[in-house]
Amino acid sequence: MPTGRPDAPLEASSPFEMRVKLGEHVPETDVRTALRTGDLGFLHSFTTGSAVDGPGIRLVAWTTSCMFRCQYCHNPDTWTLTNGIPVSLERSIAEIRKYANALKSMHGGFTLSGGEPLMQHRFAARLFAATKRIGVHNAIETNGFYGDKLSDDELHDIDLVILDMKAFTLEQHKKVTQGLGNQEVLDFCHRLSRLRRPMWLRYVLVPDLTDDPAEIDAVARFGASLGVVERVEVLPFHQMGKYKWERLGLSYRLVDTKPPSAELTSRTIEIFASHGLNTV
């Protein structure tokens, strides 16, 4: 595997590109300072032209570090903070400015994804404040576990929260994420509801893991109860990240799992729609 590369290109052709050890040269004390201040972020990459990470055409920054270990994760290289490129806040803002006019003309914007962006919550908060000043629509893709790290004012700097809903019941959430609970996630959703912050929900459909109709119905009922969910995206499982698990030497439980059938996907979408949610 490659060693640390502070000069690694920011842009990647795809978030599925394998990137590791790009920030391992950064001293531990500097890492702690970066997490505390947000002056520096660790990014897998920027990708341009996304049409699936928020409205319109998006510029997406992919952060590294995540507390979940989802069985179906297609980017396990983003679990580790120092796999990412150390990028100053100023450089990140400059990258967004470079595309600002084009993003506005395409009714798009900037999305911060991961990994889990709120593992670097100070960097995320300052980046969103900057995009607001630039006048570019922004969105965060998050699992919601560390939503309490952002103040109400900081949440108002975020135009759209795209929440990756792993499960509703505690047992199922622990099964999917390999150990972590979800009370923090549910609390964050309730908080977004109270603040009337726009949300999208995402649900990854994996045969024999996340396809239980009762669990899906519970997620749908919860989402509908919030009153701020504008859209639900059912994402069919795929194997595009399988090679990363293998190269990282990780135990991959879904090696023989096939993508969901069109019929299963359709039934799942119908469950969400039956609760009055807009589905795609």
Q: How far is CA 11 from CA 42, 65, 129, 264, 273, in A?
A: 13, 18, 22, 36, 37
Find where tokens 């702690």 sit: 32
Looking at residue 7, its pLDDT comes to 66
Q: How far is CA 107 from CA 28, 74, 264, in A?
A: 40, 28, 33
Looking at residue 58, its pLDDT comes to 97
Please state the domain extents for the chain. Answer: 28-200
**CATH architecture of the domain covering 28-200:** Alpha-Beta Barrel (3.20)
Looking at residue 9, its pLDDT comes to 85
Looking at residue 4, its pLDDT comes to 44
Model confidence pTM above 0.85: yes
Looking at residue 150, its pLDDT comes to 98
Mind listing the pLDDT tens digit of every residue in the chain (280 residues)?
A: 333 455 678 888 777 889 999 999 999 999 999 999 999 999 999 999 999 999 999 999 999 999 999 999 999 999 999 999 999 999 999 999 999 999 999 999 999 999 999 999 999 999 999 999 999 999 999 999 999 999 999 999 999 999 999 999 999 999 999 999 999 999 999 999 999 999 999 999 999 999 999 999 999 999 999 999 999 999 999 999 999 999 999 999 999 999 999 999 999 999 999 999 999 8
Looking at residue 3, its pLDDT comes to 36
Looking at residue 6, its pLDDT comes to 55
27 CB contacts (<8 Å, ≥6 apart)? none
Looking at residue 126, its pLDDT comes to 98
